[in-house]
């Protein structure tokens, strides 16, 4: 059935069907299904070891899944070797050819394809211009900075006009400022070329700022797929809420529709459709917690630490042993007693899942910070 809406007009560029990858007796990817649409900037985001690189290697043709099929542009490529897939990869290590200059590094793929010198020079020049290296063509790649080498790697990967570009933590080695510059440049290049980008990172800020679609993974399984705003505002479970930004995550009970109990108090919320007295995870973002005078909030706590973060203070508050994180522009004194106030729409209810209870209290964080900043905040 054809539905209305822009998103369904885009066709699938990459589709993974029932993919399982096993190393020894370790099932690294477990029955994974994924559709990546044409011309999108898609990011695989998840902690180290969750299987991001393994997925890229399977799409690129460097690793065959133990079970399942991979489709590119609707064609089953599971048994098609890497060099026959219209896919290119950029690795963190750049993997440039040190004996070739910038021009020849970029030209390499076209030479393999036996293109004419005229075709090569016009395409290489176009690519060098795109990555702002048009005056560097004769330079040795070993004389370039990390950011410049990364640009050569991008130009080299795009010169053969792949349908899909895979990027595995390409900015891992760059300092923070350069990383930010490269992020916005890469995003612009993706939009200009319209090539489907599958980008891998474990940096949630990088993922949120660059992507059309973010795929949050944990232990070889997809936890959530959505737009950056969707993932941030509507995390589907406690893992996503914890991994994307900061979150206070408390054990709660849905007493009835729109009423949840946690921290020994009842709160109004906007959620419904849970079983009566169903145990849930209650997720509250640090920036949504309002600080009141002690006695004027629904909860009462003691300020355990305060860290200045530039725009706001990060305040750890002990409420009956549970350490909350609050972000506020108002300074609070360590040791003072404050009230915590929550509106119904600040409270997000999530179903319990296998990793519930592993995240959401800032005790460890707080102790560490307390030690470091003890002298500053006292």
Q: Which whole-number Å values give the CA distances from 7 to 17, 36, 146, in the listed order? A: 20, 11, 37
Element (H, E) at 224: strand 221-226
34 binds ligand ATP (CB under 6 A): no
- 57-63: long-range pairs with CB below 8 Å, 24+: 58/16, 58/19, 58/21, 58/29, 59/14, 59/16, 59/87, 59/164, 59/166, 59/198, 60/85, 60/87, 60/89, 60/166, 61/85, 61/87, 62/89, 63/21
Residue of the chain from 50, 198, 250, 338 that contacts ligand ATP (CB under 6 A): 50
Residue 219 CB, shortest distance to ligand ATP, in Å, is 9
Say which entry of Mg ion, ligand ATP, none residue 202 contacts (CB below 5 to 8 A, set by partner kind): ligand ATP
Strands 12-23 and 67-72: antiparallel
Residue of the chain from 16, 19, 41, 52 that contacts ligand ATP (CB under 6 A): 52
Nearer to ligand ATP, 58 or 260 (CB): 58
Binding window for ligand ATP (CB under 6 A); candidates: 52-60, 69-77, 111-119, 156-164: 52-60
DSSP at 101: B
State the Cα–Cα distance between residues 206 and 194, nearest whole angstrom: 20
Beta bridge partners of 213: 42
Residue 89 CB, shortest distance to ligand ATP, in Å, is 13
**Among 234, 188, 195, residue whose Cα is nearest residue 72:** 195
Q: 171 near 150, Cβ under 8 Å?
A: yes
Residue 187 CB, shortest distance to ligand ATP, in Å, is 21
State the Cα–Cα distance between residues 88 and 96, nearest whole angstrom: 14
Residue 182 CB, shortest distance to Mg ion, in Å, is 18
Contact residues: Mg ion, CB under 5 A: 53
Hey, what are 73's tokens? 């542009």
Nearer to Mg ion, 53 or 105 (CB): 53
For the chain, how are helix, strand and coil distributed in percent, rounded to 5?
30, 35, 35
Nearer to ligand ATP, 211 or 248 (CB): 211
Say which entry of ligand ATP, Mg ion, none residue 28 contacts (CB below 5 to 8 A, set by partner kind): ligand ATP
Residue of the chain from 32, 34, 53, 291 that contacts ligand ATP (CB under 6 A): 53
Binding flags for ligand ATP, 202-231, as an x/- string (CB under 6 A): x-----------------------------
Residue of the chain from 6, 25, 48, 79 that contacts ligand ATP (CB under 6 A): 48
Q: Within 140-199, which residues bind ligand ATP (CB under 6 A)?
A: none
Nearer to ligand ATP, 23 or 272 (CB): 23
Nearer to ligand ATP, 37 or 202 (CB): 202
Contact residues toward ligand ATP (CB under 6 A) are 23, 28, 46, 48-54, 202
């Amino acid at each position: 059935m054809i539905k209305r809406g822009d998103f369904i007009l885009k066709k699938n560029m990459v589709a993974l069907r029932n993919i399982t990858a096993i190393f020894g007796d370790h099932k690294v990817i477990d029955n994974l299904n994924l559709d990546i649409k044409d011309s999108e900037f898609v990011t695989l985001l998840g902690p180290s070891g969750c299987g991001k690189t393994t997925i890229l290697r399977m799409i690129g043709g460097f690793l065959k899944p133990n079970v399942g099929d991979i489709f590119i542009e609707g064609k089953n490529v599971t048994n098609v070797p890497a060099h026959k897939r219209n896919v290119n990869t950029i690795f963190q290590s750049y993997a440039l050819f040190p004996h070739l200059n910038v021009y020849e590094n970029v030209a390499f793929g076209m030479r393999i394809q036996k293109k004419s010198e005229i075709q090569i020079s016009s395409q290489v020049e176009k690519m060098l211009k795109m990555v702002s290296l048009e005056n560097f063509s004769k330079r040795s790649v070993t004389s370039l900075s990390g950011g410049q080498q990364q640009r050569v790697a991008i130009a080299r990967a795009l010169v053969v006009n792949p349908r899909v570009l895979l990027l595995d933590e390409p900015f891992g080695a760059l300092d923070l400022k350069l990383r930010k510059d490269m992020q916005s440049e890469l995003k612009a290049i993706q939009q200009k070329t319209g090539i489907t980008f599958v980008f891998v990172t474990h940096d949630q800020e990088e993922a949120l700022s660059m992507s059309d679609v973010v795929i949050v993974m944990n232990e070889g399984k997809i936890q959530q797929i959505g737009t950056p705003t969707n993932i941030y505002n509507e995390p589907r479970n406690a893992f996503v809420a914890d991994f994307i930004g900061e979150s206070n995550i408390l054990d709660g009970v849905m007493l009835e529709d729109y009423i949840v109990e946690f921290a020994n108090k009842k709160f109004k919320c906007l959620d419904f459709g849970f079983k009566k007295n169903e145990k849930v995870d209650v997720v509250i973002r640090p920036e949504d917690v309002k600080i009141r005078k002690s006695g004027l909030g629904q909860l009462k706590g003691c300020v355990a630490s305060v860290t200045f973060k530039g725009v706001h203070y990060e305040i750890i508050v002990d409420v009956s042993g549970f350490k909350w994180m609050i972000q506020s522009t108002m300074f609070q004194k360590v040791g003072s007693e404050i009230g915590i106030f929550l509106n119904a729409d600040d409270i997000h209810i999530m179903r319990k899942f296998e990793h519930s209870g592993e995240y959401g209290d800032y005790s460890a964080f707080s102790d560490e910070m307390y030690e470091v900043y003890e002298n500053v905040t006292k």
